[in-house]
Amino acid sequence: MVLICVIYLEKSLHEPMYFLVCSQAANGLYGGTALLPSLLSNILSGFYEVSLACCLTQIFAIHTYAIVEFTILAAMSYDRYVAICYPLQYHSIMSLSRTYKLITLVWLYPLLAFLLVFVLTLQLRFCQNTIEKLYCHNHSLVKLSCTDTSLVNAVGLLSVALYSLPQLVMVLYSYVHILRICMQLPRQSRLKAFRTCMPGLASVANYSVGCFLEIVQSRLEGGHLPFRAKAFLSIYFLIMPPIINPVIYGMSFNAIRVPLLRLLWLLWRRGR
């Protein structure tokens, strides 16, 4: 929230990259809100039940959070690609109007991508009621159905490919071309370009590892892993990226770090 406030208040940060950082922080709040209140309520109350309506709401929120996060990372990689490979045309390619359209697409595409799977899940009839996860997960809920789920499973697997492969291609394409350009630059310019890309690469790596762990333990049933290990792996992508990303961007970009520290200093002085 502090990062969002800094980007909103500091006019010099009203640039495409920082708008995307702001969107990523907002998505982290969205994903955390989908998980943490219900999780903390269960822990404090010892009451581990949830209504079907609340479960479906959590499924929609968590899955759309996951797709939005990966889509934002792809948009960030494209922004860095344009900035490094086409520096003179950057402000014309990444104009504010195009940035707003890109951010709108970042939020709308995941909602539409997951909608078909979600609608199919709504039509199922359930005859079991135990989900062995810390939150409601679409595949875990589908397994509780007493009707044929082959169509939902097939569409679910296809959807995973559709809402992850385009982003993965964009990320790989962008950073491969950035690397190619960087190798042609003088040493000082190369280091500057690498520093610009490192926060995005760190975010991609952190989130990709979390998603991979969740997909593996969810689809393959975690093998012989104990429940506590599976529980940790399943919530990593929901907990760690929203915690780590603001720190990465807040400390890596001098344009964010300086006003951020100034704002924190003012808040501390007022508190005294």
- pLDDT tens track for 192-206: 777 778 888 888 888
pLDDT of residue 57: 93
User: Each residue of 2-23: pLDDT tens digit?
Assistant: 888 888 888 888 889 899 999 9
pLDDT above 90 covers a percentage of the chain that reads: 21
pLDDT of residue 62: 92
User: Each residue of 135-187: pLDDT tens digit?
Assistant: 888 888 888 888 888 888 888 888 878 778 888 899 999 988 888 888 887 87
DSSP structure string for the chain: -HHHHHHHH-GGG-SHHHHHHHHHHHHHHHHHHHHHHHHHHHHHH------HHHHHHHHHHHHHHHHHHHHHHHHHHHHHHHHHHSGGGHHHHT-HHHHHHHHHHHHHHHHHHHHHHHHHHHT--B------SSS--HHHHHTTBSS--HHHHHHHHHHHHHTTHHHHHHHHHHHHHHHHHHTTS-HHHHHHHHHHHHHHHHHHHHHHHHHHHHHHHHHSTTTT--HHHHHHHHHHHHHHHHHHHHHHHHHH-HHHHHHHHHHHHHHHHHH-
- Report d(CA 245, CA 249) in Å as an integer: 6
- Report d(CA 213, CA 223) in Å as an integer: 12
pLDDT of residue 257: 81
- Report d(CA 95, CA 64) in Å as an integer: 27
Q: Region 17-37: what's the mean pLDDT?
A: 91
pLDDT of residue 197: 82
pLDDT above 70 covers a percentage of the chain that reads: 97
Lowest-confidence pick of 28-42, 239-253, 258-272: 258-272
| Cα distances (Å, whole numbers) of residue 134 to 28, 55, 190 | 18, 11, 44
pLDDT of residue 60: 93
CATH architecture type of domain 2-264: Up-down Bundle (1.20)
User: Each residue of 73-115: pLDDT tens digit?
Assistant: 999 999 989 988 888 899 899 988 899 999 999 999 888 888 8
Lowest-confidence pick of 10-24, 52-66, 221-235, 247-261: 221-235
Q: Region 237-255: what's the mean pLDDT?
A: 84
pLDDT band, very low/low/confident/very high, at 72 (cuts 50, 70, 90): very high
pLDDT band, very low/low/confident/very high, at 123 (cuts 50, 70, 90): confident
Model-level pTM greater than 0.75? yes
pLDDT of residue 33: 92
- Computed over every residue of the chain, the mean pLDDT equals 85
pLDDT band, very low/low/confident/very high, at 219 (cuts 50, 70, 90): low
Q: Region 130-134: what's the mean pLDDT?
A: 83
**pLDDT tops 80 at residue 63:** yes
